Chains A and B, each alone.
Chain A
Amino acid sequence: KAGVTQTPRYLIKTRGQQVTLSCSPISGHRSVSWYQQTPGQGLQFLFEYFSETQRNKGNFPGRFSGRQFSNSRSEMNVSTLELGDSALYLCASSWSGGGTDTQYFGPGTRLTVL
């Protein structure tokens, strides 16, 4: 069974630009969550989508948004990039999003903002 895939793996952007990251969950998984990892703040939850609906949201500004498609693939978008948005963005998928469901993480997209 293929794991969670994220594209692109690496990305370099400049301040003010916008970026879209993609995540393909494990086949059959309907919940997709996004996390940001930085050396200073560690791993922080961004949002979670289930059946194309945002079900949970972390404490990030509105510049961070996401969506989920009918095939459960998900994208996250960051508009008006700031230097502090440089981070590893991780996507995780799970079957239904229950409290005991295992989340499977992808390798991440490393975003560098110059």
Chain B
Amino acid sequence: DAKTTQPNSMESNEEEPVHLPCNHSTISGTDYIHWYRQLPSQGPEYVIHGLTSNVNNRMASLAIAEDRKSSTLILHRATLRDAAVYYCILRSFGNEKLTFGTGTRLTIIP
């Protein structure tokens, strides 16, 4: 499985935008970039995914570099509820398996 690299931890002030980076230099053409997050004492939850183009949904935006070797998850206005571990995952089409890395622990400062 292609690997991803994320910072271990990040902090952000409440109500400010958050940019969570992810490097995936060995990404293949069939790999989708998925983001999941895990809130304390809960199972992971889906945030967003994309292939080549930038993506937006009600939770976040995903900006994908032109060469696809990196991506950034953007939370437009962080709330205390966004404090979680965020996982960037590469998933090839047709493969159900999610390979989780260590993720980024996001702390929101009130």
In angstroms, how far is the closest chain A Cβ from the Cβ of B68?
A: 15
- What interface size band does chain A fall in? 20 to 34
Asked whether any CB of chain A lies closer than 8 Å to the CB of B101, the reply is yes
- CA of A56 to CA of B94, assembled, Å: 11
Q: Mark A54-91, 1 if CB is under 8 A from B, else 0.
A: 01101000000000000000000000000000000010
Q: Mark B14-41, 1 if CB is under 8 A from A, else 0.
A: 0000000000000000101000100000
List, in ascending order, chain B residues with CB within 8 A of A107's CB: 42-43
- CA of A42 to CA of B36, assembled, Å: 14
**B-side binding surface: helix, strand, loop or mixed?**
loop
Segment at the interface with A among B2-10, B44-52, B74-82: B44-52
- CA of A97 to CA of B91, assembled, Å: 12
- What interface size band does chain B fall in? 20 to 34
- CA of A56 to CA of B98, assembled, Å: 11
List, in ascending order, chain A residues with CB within 8 A of B96's CB: 31, 33, 48, 50, 55-56, 94, 97-98, 101, 103
**Would B100 and A44 count as touching, CB distance under 8 A?**
yes
**Would B93 and A105 count as touching, CB distance under 8 A?**
no
Of A4, A56, A108, which contacts B95 at CB under 8 A? A56
List, in ascending order, chain A residues with CB within 8 A of B13's CB: none
Asked whether any CB of chain B lies closer than 8 Å to the CB of A43, the reply is yes
- CA of A58 to CA of B1, assembled, Å: 12
**Would A103 and B49 count as touching, CB distance under 8 A?**
no
**3 shortest interchain CB distances as A-B pairs:** A105-B43, A99-B93, A43-B100
